[in-house]
Amino acid sequence: MTISHHLDDEMLLRYSAGTLAEGWSLAVATHLSLCPVCRSRLAAYDSVGGYLLESDDSQTDLDDGWTAMKERLDAGERDNVIALKPRERPNGIFPTPLAGYLKRAGGLKWRGLGVGAAHMVIPTSDPTTVVRLLKVPAGKPVPEHSHGGTELTLVLDGSFSDEISTFHRGDVEHADESVQHTPRAHPDKDCICLAVTDAPLKFRSRLMKLLQPLIGI
């Protein structure tokens, strides 16, 4: 299986710089778990950070922090070697970063969307995004929508196609205001995605618009 839809440069750069909000970062970290190509690209961005850090030519003319640091080392900092914490072994389709959030949310709990699909909002401490898992039954469409802002969709299981392309496990679709699409799950399997949005979705149909506040999508 090869991932063919990757993270864009700005998102990787901001993730590397540490300026990307938590909601997007969760999707980025989950994609990175599945995508060696983007891990390589991230390493390159991190090395940009390392270069910028090291090329700073500030002088050591401030108070001598080494004295304080030496005291810390003498007081036992040297013995405080961090042990690798034992890891829980996640199974199935959720890579570690996402599995942790699911666990803190009390496990996987689907809520029906009334159109055959189901979702689960994943709580984060980031008020600027909404992070959800979305399950679309095999062969069924996600109701047509455009986006008030940006939407990042990462396939975790199954696959879907829209007017633009086909997306399999690990693939990322990055949609903005200009995209009006009707993703449809492939008929062989339910499609489960991680979806991050920075604004509520805008549905075309009046029914969906009416339902939207009720079902919290």
Q: Which of 38, 48, 39 minimizes the C-alpha distance to 7?
A: 38
How far apart are the C-alpha atoms of 195 and 171, rounded to whole Å?
Answer: 12
Residues 11-50 that bind another protein (CB under 8 A): 13-14, 16-19, 21-22, 25-26, 28-30, 32-36, 39-41, 43-44, 46-50
60 binds another protein (CB under 8 A): yes
Q: Is 124 left (phi over 0), alpha (psi -120 to 50) or beta?
A: beta
Q: Which stretch binds another protein (CB under 8 A): 8-16, 135-143, 181-189, 206-214?
A: 8-16
Residues 63-82 that bind another protein (CB under 8 A): 63-66, 68-70, 72-73, 77-78, 80-82
How far apart are the C-alpha atoms of 102 and 109, rounded to whole Å?
Answer: 9
214 binds another protein (CB under 8 A): no
Q: Which stretch binds another protein (CB under 8 A): 83-91, 175-183, 191-199, 201-209?
A: 83-91
Query: Which DSSP symbol is given to 79?
Result: G
Structure tokens at 212: 């939207």
Choose between 68 and 214: whose C-beta lies nearer to another protein: 68
Residue 90: φ, ψ to 5°: -75, 150
Choose between 83 and 214: whose C-beta lies nearer to another protein: 83
Structure tokens at 41: 């690209």
Closest distance between another protein and the C-beta of residue 211, in Å?
Answer: 30
How far apart are the C-alpha atoms of 149 and 138, rounded to whole Å?
Answer: 27
Among 5, 7, 101, 155, binds another protein (CB under 8 A): 101
